C-alpha cells in the first residue's frame, strides 16, 4: 500500500507496463519509502514484472542479481519450487553473460549455489510432510 501520494502516478504507469516506473516502485518497496513497511508481496510483484517483461531495460550487471533476489523473496514465502527456478535462471544468465571465472565468482558472491541447494532441500521436506 502506498503512503506517499507522489507514488500514485508512478504506480499507475508501472501497472500500465512502464519499466522505469516498475523499477521505481520496486525500489520504493525495497527501501520502504512512501509505502507500508510490509510490502514484500508488492516488491516481489514489481520485481517479477521487470524480470519477465523488461529484461532489456535492466543493466547486465544487475539482471542476474535481480533474478537471484526474486529467488530469495520466494524462499521467504516458502515457495521453494519457484525459488529453485529463479536461482537456475540467475545462474544460467550469469554463466552465459560473463567469462567463466567472473561468472563463477559472481555466483559465489550472490550465494546462488547455496540458496538453490537450500531451496531444493526445503522443497523435498515440504513434499515429505504432505
pLDDT at res. 52: 87
- pLDDT at site 44: 94
* DSSP assignments along 41-99, one per residue: HHHHHHHHHHHHH-GGGS-HHHHHHHHHHHHHHHHHTT-HHHHHHHHHHHHHHHHHHS-
Mean pLDDT by 10 residues, the chain (130 residues): 90 93 91 85 92 82 91 96 97 95 96 96 88
Reduce the DSSP state of residue 9 to 3 states and report it: helix
pLDDT at 82: 97
For residue 6, the model assigns a pLDDT of: 92
| Short-list 105, 85, 83, 84, CA closest to 94 | 105
Give the span between the Cα atoms of 118 and 55, in whole angstroms.
Answer: 26
pLDDT at 3: 87
Q: Domain locations in the chain?
A: 1-58, 60-130
Helix axes 80-97, 112-128, angle to 10 degrees: 160
Amino acid at each position: 500500500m502506498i503512503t506517499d501520494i507522489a507514488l500514485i502516478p508512478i504506480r499507475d504507469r508501472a501497472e500500465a507496463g512502464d519499466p522505469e516506473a516498475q523499477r521505481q516502485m520496486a525500489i520504493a518497496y525495497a527501501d520502504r519509502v512512501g509505502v507500508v513497511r510490509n510490502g514484500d508481496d508488492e516488491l516481489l510483484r514489481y520485481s517479477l514484472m521487470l524480470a519477465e517483461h523488461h529484461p532489456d531495460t535492466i543493466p547486465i550487471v544487475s539482471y542476474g542479481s535481480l533474478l537471484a533476489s526474486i529467488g530469495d523473496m520466494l524462499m521467504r514465502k516458502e515457495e521453494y519450487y519457484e525459488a529453485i527456478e529463479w536461482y537456475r535462471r540467475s545462474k544460467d544468465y550469469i554463466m552465459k553473460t560473463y567469462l567463466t571465472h567472473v561468472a563463477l565468482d559472481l555466483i559465489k558472491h550472490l550465494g546462488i549455489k547455496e540458496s538453490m541447494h537450500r531451496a531444493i532441500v526445503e522443497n523435498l521436506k515440504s513434499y515429505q510432510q504432505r
